[in-house]
Amino acid sequence: MTPENLILIAMALPLVAAIWVALFGKIPNVREAGSIVVSIATFAVCCMLATHVFADARPSVTLSEMLPGFSISFTVEPLGMLFALIASGLWILTTIYAIGYMRGHHETNQTRFFVCFAVAIFAALAAAFAGNLFTLFVAYEIMTVSTYPLVTHHGDEKARAGGRVYLGILLSTSIAFFMLAIVWTWHLAGTLDFKPGGILELAYRGGKIETLGLAILLGLFAYGIGKAALMPFHRWLPAAMVAPTPVSALLHAVAVVKVGVFSVLKIVVYIFGYDLIRETGVSEWLCYVAGASILIGSLVAMTKDNLKARLAYSTVSQLAYITLGAAIATSGSIIGSGMHIAMHAVGKITLFFCAGAIYVAAHKSNISDMRGLGRAMPFTFGAFLLACISIIGLPPGGGAWSKWFLAVGTADRGMWFLLATLMISSLLNIAYLVPVPILAFMTPKGAERQTFKEAPLMCVVPLCITAVGSVLLFFFADQIYDVLLPITEVTKEVKS
């Protein structure tokens, strides 16, 4: 099978899943079996595609050309491939987890849930494979719209209010800023294709745009991609936490938010060209905005007692790491950012899985109520602890590597203030994450013993797998490094 076909198959499979689920909505077991089978198949196809892409192939497909030079097309490069692997791989686990969660929790409208879920995964893959800005934009918007019913799943006033904030911020930033930036890019470069080395250098050298203009354009992209949750456009993420936990886990820790930061990274590398960004210094302000986002996100997380809300702000903070890496724009920081997409995905999904498992088993969502729960749910809280280590960036968690590269990046650029920010943020991570498992495992004397049991097996097994995965990534980080290296190398070739 040619890699071109694999691209199309990989994207078609989630849609097949959506149709399957819709058709067999009345028979839950058939419906769920279909979901699982297709998710495994999607991952397998992505793996097959990855063997081509990581061997330096760049398969490309154009679906339709609307106006001259303006098309829906897909080109797979390592960064997108890595993201697709993460999204499709974690989709399998999330599907299994979601089945356990939704049934354990007796949720209604499960068919709609699984349909929208599959469509969102389709959008994530389409964004990962997007060959130009327009395709990326379309995938981005499909994702926004398809996740809206998931956010408002409960259908009560609270869910609807959360959904309105979610949709309002994501749509309005994307239309007002992202779209404007795309039109501007088209005007400057005459193309929207992702090209190694960027497409804007010529326009800049030719005097079509000033340095200030370039900085504004970067700002339009950074804020237009609201899914990257850069402050002050981060409010949608905590608002989205009204969704059922599997949604928060896969979509609001992995697919949706990662599409955001992935897009930022991709635009920095393939539209601007990170050399151009570094040499002109147009991203310096973004470094500090991202730094502020990192710190403030962590600080707000500390004040939250609701576990999911705390994790949401933690995500806001961690996403800013990736934006920071893109803004620093050295080859090391770009790789660090790419890695952090993977590391944080695996770590954060574990944390959300745990939060969901706790909710299913004990119906508790506030951290202060979880005192002593660790004895009753050792696996869940054990996994939580492992994932914490990765998120904080301590060995042997995968996050150690990505944070290392990012820290080296700030040092390379002589941004000592930001280096300090990263270190302080890690301390803050410890302060707001570690108390959760500690509190759970330490039962104060005289307190009543918690009588709950672990969540259903379908919930616990996936979260154990991802927790182990977050540790394994520490040992296999060099593979990810090798895979991501070509993105930075190609740039240099083009330049010389």
Partner 1 sequence: MIDFVSQLPILMIVLPLVTAPICVLLGGRQLTYILALIVAWCVFAISLACLIQVNQSGPIHYEIGNWKPPYGIEYVVDALSGFVLMFVSFLGAIVLTYGKASIDKEIPHSKHYLFYATYLLCMTGLMGMCITGDLFNVFVFLEISSLSSYALISLGKSRRAPLAALQYLILGTIGATFLLIGIGLLYQMTGTLNMADIAGRLDVENGGRTLLVAFAFMTIGLFIKMAVFPLHTWLPNAYTYAPSVVTAFIAATATKISVYAFIRLIYGIFTPDFAFNTQPLDSALLAMSLIGIFIASAAAIYQSDVKRLLAYSSIGQIGYMLLGIGLVSVGGLAGGIVHMFNHALIKGGLFMAIGCFALRIGSVKLDDLRGAGKTMPWTSLAFTIGGLGLIGVPLTAGFISKWMLLTSSFEAGRPQVAAMMLVSSLLAVVYVWKVVETLYFADPSDAAAKAKEAPMSMLVPLYVVIAATVVFGVWTDWSAGLAQQAAEFLFTGAKQ
Kindly tell me which residue out of 9, 165, 176, 302 binds partner 1, with binding defined by CB under 8 A: 176
Question: What CA–CA distances, in Å, run from 42 to 45, 48, 89, 385?
Answer: 5, 10, 8, 30
Nearest approach, Cβ of residue 176 and partner 1 (Å)? 5
Phi and psi torsions of 72, nearest 5°: -95, 110
Which residue, 71, 67, 60, 80, is CA-closest to 3? 60
Q: Kindly identify the residues of this chain, within the stretch 236-255, that bind partner 1 according to CB under 8 A.
A: none
Asked if residue 157 binds partner 1 (CB under 8 A), the reply is: no
Question: What CA–CA distances, in Å, run from 112 to 21, 24, 109, 179?
Answer: 8, 11, 6, 30
Amino acid sitting at position 80: G
- The piece of 121-129, 184-192, 275-283, 419-427 that touches partner 1 (CB under 8 A) is 184-192
Asked if residue 461 binds partner 1 (CB under 8 A), the reply is: no
Place of tokens 């419906």: 31
Q: What is the DSSP secondary-structure string of 282-335?
A: TTHHHHHHHHHHHHHHHHHHHH--BHHHHHHHHHHHHHHHHHHHHHH--HHHHH
**Contact present, 344 and 391 (Cβ < 8 Å):** yes
Q: How do the residues of the chain divide into helix, strand and coil, expressed in percent and rounded to 5?
A: 75, 5, 20
Which residue, 197, 271, 56, is CA-closest to 492? 197
- The piece of 19-27, 66-74, 124-132, 265-273 that touches partner 1 (CB under 8 A) is 66-74
Asked if residue 233 binds partner 1 (CB under 8 A), the reply is: no
**Contact present, 141 and 257 (Cβ < 8 Å):** no
Structure tokens belonging to residue 311: 């994790």
Asked if residue 8 binds partner 1 (CB under 8 A), the reply is: no
Kindly tell me which residue out of 2, 5, 108, 172 binds partner 1, with binding defined by CB under 8 A: 172
Burial class of residue 26, CB neighbours in 10 A (0-12, 13-18, 19+): exposed
Q: Which is nearer to partner 1, 133 or 433 (CB)?
A: 133
Nearest approach, Cβ of residue 352 and partner 1 (Å)? 25
Q: Which is nearer to partner 1, 24 or 184 (CB)?
A: 184
Asked if residue 69 binds partner 1 (CB under 8 A), the reply is: no
Q: Helix crossing, 331-362 with 307-328: angle to 10°?
A: 170
Nearest approach, Cβ of residue 154 and partner 1 (Å)? 11
Kindly tell me which residue out of 94, 95, 152, 323 binds partner 1, with binding defined by CB under 8 A: 152
CA–CA dist 400, 378 (Å, integer): 25
Q: Which is nearer to partner 1, 55 or 67 (CB)?
A: 67
Q: Which is nearer to partner 1, 176 or 468 (CB)?
A: 176
Nearest approach, Cβ of residue 263 and partner 1 (Å)? 15
Structure tokens belonging to residue 320: 């800013």
CA–CA dist 248, 255 (Å, integer): 10
Q: Which is nearer to partner 1, 18 or 342 (CB)?
A: 18
**Contact present, 356 and 245 (Cβ < 8 Å):** yes
Asked if residue 175 binds partner 1 (CB under 8 A), the reply is: yes
Nearest approach, Cβ of residue 187 and partner 1 (Å)? 4
Nearest approach, Cβ of residue 203 and partner 1 (Å)? 12
Asked if residue 427 binds partner 1 (CB under 8 A), the reply is: no
Q: Which is nearer to partner 1, 144 or 350 (CB)?
A: 144
Q: Kindly identify the residues of this chain, within the stretch 261-320, that bind partner 1 according to CB under 8 A.
A: none
Q: Kindly identify the residues of this chain, within the stretch 84-143, that bind partner 1 according to CB under 8 A.
A: 134, 137-138, 141
Nearest approach, Cβ of residue 376 and partner 1 (Å)? 38
Asked if residue 180 binds partner 1 (CB under 8 A), the reply is: yes
Q: Which is nearer to partner 1, 64 or 451 (CB)?
A: 64
**Contact present, 411 and 478 (Cβ < 8 Å):** no
- The piece of 63-71, 95-103, 355-363, 430-438 that touches partner 1 (CB under 8 A) is 63-71
Q: Which is nearer to partner 1, 171 or 431 (CB)?
A: 171
Q: Which is nearer to partner 1, 192 or 301 (CB)?
A: 192
Q: What is the total count of residues that contact partner 1 (CB under 8 A)?
A: 22
Nearest approach, Cβ of residue 8 and partner 1 (Å)? 17
* Cβ partners under 8 Å of residue 350, min gap 6: 383, 384, 386, 387, 463, 466, 467, 469, 470
Q: Which is nearer to partner 1, 63 or 423 (CB)?
A: 63
Nearest approach, Cβ of residue 139 and partner 1 (Å)? 10
Nearest-10 Cα torsion for 319, 325, 326, 327: 110
Structure tokens belonging to residue 189: 């470069």
Bridge partners for 193 per DSSP: 132
Asked if residue 167 binds partner 1 (CB under 8 A), the reply is: yes
Asked if residue 158 binds partner 1 (CB under 8 A), the reply is: no
Give the residues lining the site for partner 1 (CB under 8 A): 64, 66-67, 70, 134, 137-138, 141, 152, 155, 160, 167, 171-172, 175-176, 179-180, 183-184, 186-187
